[in-house]
Amino acid sequence: MDRRRFLKTSAAAGLGLAGRAGRAHAARELLVAEPVHSTGYLPLYIAMAKGYFDDVTVKIVTIESGSGHTNAVLSGQAFAFIGGPEHNAYAKAKGAELRAVVNCVDRGNIYLCAAKGQEPSSADWPAYVKGKTIAVGPFGGTPNSILRYLLGKWKLDAKKDVTLIETSNSATIAVVRGKQAQIGEATEPFVTQGVRNNIWNEPFFNVPKELGPYAYSTLNVRLDTIRKDPELVRTFVRGMVKASKFLYANPKEASEIAKAQFPTMPLDDLRSTLDRSFADEMWSRDGTISRQAWATASAVVREAGLLKSDVKYEEIIDMSFVESVRATL
């Protein structure tokens, strides 16, 4: 399938296509596949808006179909996809070789919120959670996997000790509002929307702070691309590293870029989302994917039963490009 047909098919399926040229005179065009259009991917949008990819035009295609963003890269229709490096591990188990080359979201972007009147009285999470009904994203998704990982740490059985209502991530707030669940696992802007609509208070469990460094969303390319065109990969990584540094150094301008990417999001929701993300250090500061970040991500998907073997850091992550460009910035 050629790229024109791929994009036409994606549009017909209702996928969101968005993009902005890095430079008007760009000699090459790269497509990055994302699973959702999210403020978590703000460093990528900043790099596009600021022209940090040098003589390359980067566009994004939103593919909300499970492994669709990974398959777009495996099939050669996209240069890179944004998502956890566990997708590289899944692909490796099937004989494909992908590598995470730069970090984006370095924390688990999820929060646990208690319905009004159901708030915990102490930090004894196992005792509080046991017996509760929890609204969570679909099985196989990272939010669901994180919850199962936490249940495992708390020595609770996902089938016997709690009841899970697995639905779309955006629907968890509605499940709690309808009193079908006492706990909702949510991300922004739904955390803020729940607080404002008196559905829940501020989160009682902050995953970004509790789990620490976590390779939640990285930029991933085929190993074949690294071998055949390392300079192109280096150019892309340089742009992402520059954007990550800009994000923390210029939060006001970064917020303006976010506003342009999410024109229909209420301004208060966007502001709260970004404030929480900055406070919890959601984004990588320099593109590095630490060994600790992969160890946590690996533990999460293995606890959920999605990854059956212990995949080593070097087998799916390549930090050579980040290390080489960091010294020049």
Render pLDDT for 151-205 as a digit per residue (tens, 0 to 9). Answer: 999 999 999 999 999 998 788 999 999 999 999 999 888 998 999 999 999 999 9
Query: What is the rounded average pLDDT for all residues in the chain?
Result: 90
Kind of pairing, strands 17-19 and 98-105? unpaired
285, two tokens:
């500061």
* pLDDT confidence band for 2 (50 / 70 / 90): very low
Average pLDDT rounded to a whole number, residues 223-244: 97
What pTM was computed for the model? 0.85
* pLDDT of amino acid 43: 97
* pLDDT confidence band for 66 (50 / 70 / 90): low
Using N-to-C axis directions, what is the helix angle for 291-303 and 86-93, rounded to 10°?
Answer: 60
Listed in sequence order, the residues at least 6 apart from 258 whose beta carbon sits closer than 8 Å to its beta carbon are 39, 42, 45, 270, 274
Residue 63: count other Cβ atoms within 10 Å of its Cβ. Answer: 24
Which domains are present in the chain? 3-108+213-326 (3.40.190.10), 111-211 (3.40.190.10)
* pLDDT confidence band for 64 (50 / 70 / 90): confident
**pLDDT tens digits, 278-318:** 999 999 999 999 999 999 999 999 988 889 888 999 999 99
Average pLDDT rounded to a whole number, residues 141-147: 90
Q: Are 145 and 300 in contact (CB under 8 A)?
A: yes
Helices (H), 59-161: 68-74, 86-93, 125-129, 142-153
* pLDDT confidence band for 25 (50 / 70 / 90): very low
